[in-house]
Amino acid sequence: MTRTILITGASRGLGRACALNLAASEGAHLLLLGRDKPALDVTAESVRQTGGTAETFAADVTDRTRLAAIAGGLGSLDGLVAAAGISGMTPVDRESNSEGQPTDAFFDEIVAADLTGPWNTVRAFLPRMGPGGRIVLVSSVLGRFGVPGYGAYCAAKHGLHGLAKALALELIGKGIVVNAVAPGWIDTDMAQTGIRQIAAVTGQSEAEFRAQAEDAVPVKRFFQAEEIARGIAWLLDPANTMQVGQCLNLDGGVVQV
């Protein structure tokens, strides 16, 4: 039977990679959510060419009214991947970061998208999910430790781990399994922005900082979104019955717990 799986942040990066993986591996029907409708349409066309089917919905995960309206028009849902998120520096001792983003306002924006957004998504679409459902919240290695200047992002991703644990215990009685993933550096636009910002703050070239970041990873490289998507697909697999309320590290050995 074809599964229906909703993915937020599906317009690019990891969200798009998850959609293509599920289309190729099981011919899934993908519900693609994101703020960039033209980019979502590109993902949807790639899904169809890869063997799946797709619908697109322009939505911001901070907009509860919009999410509820989308959910109200759907049938049953088998899986949910909360991949939407933003990143950036929020230096606690400055009024703005190196890219001119106001610290306090940007802090609120990151937490709203990266922590409250997944909560909003689960709240809106949970009524469409029954026993056997699978939910994956996309966190980060920065949900495992702190990085100077990334207070908002670290706080949101740490919070996401707690949210996954709480939801897992709350929903397992309904037959719905909740887990999280914590990727390391992924070769995406978001990573490139991070490289640029940190290089500017530390006085390095982007190439120098990237080499330093790669050297800090035991496998000595960044990862492709497709690699992380395979880990998420495993957590979504109905055959995965024992991973409950856990966070799967997909970071090349940076965190070993």
Q: Which pairing describes strands 77-82 and 177-183: parallel, antiparallel, or unpaired?
A: unpaired
Active site residues: 153
Rounded to an integer, what is the distance from CA 102 to the centroid of its chain? Answer: 24
Take residue 5 and report the two structure tokens written for it. 């799986």
Take residue 162 and report the two structure tokens written for it. 């707690």
Take residue 128 and report the two structure tokens written for it. 């469409």
Strand partners, 33: 8, 57
Residues 8 and 82: their CA atoms lie apart, in Å, by 5
Contact 60, 66 (CB under 8 A): yes
Q: How many CB atoms lie within 10 A of CB 215?
A: 10
- What is the full DSSP assignment across 65-108? HHHHHHHHT---EEEEEE---------TTSSB-TT--BHHHHHH
Residues 113 and 110: their CA atoms lie apart, in Å, by 5
Residues 191 and 123: their CA atoms lie apart, in Å, by 29
Q: Which of 70, 49, 50, 66 is nearest to 6 (CA)?
A: 70
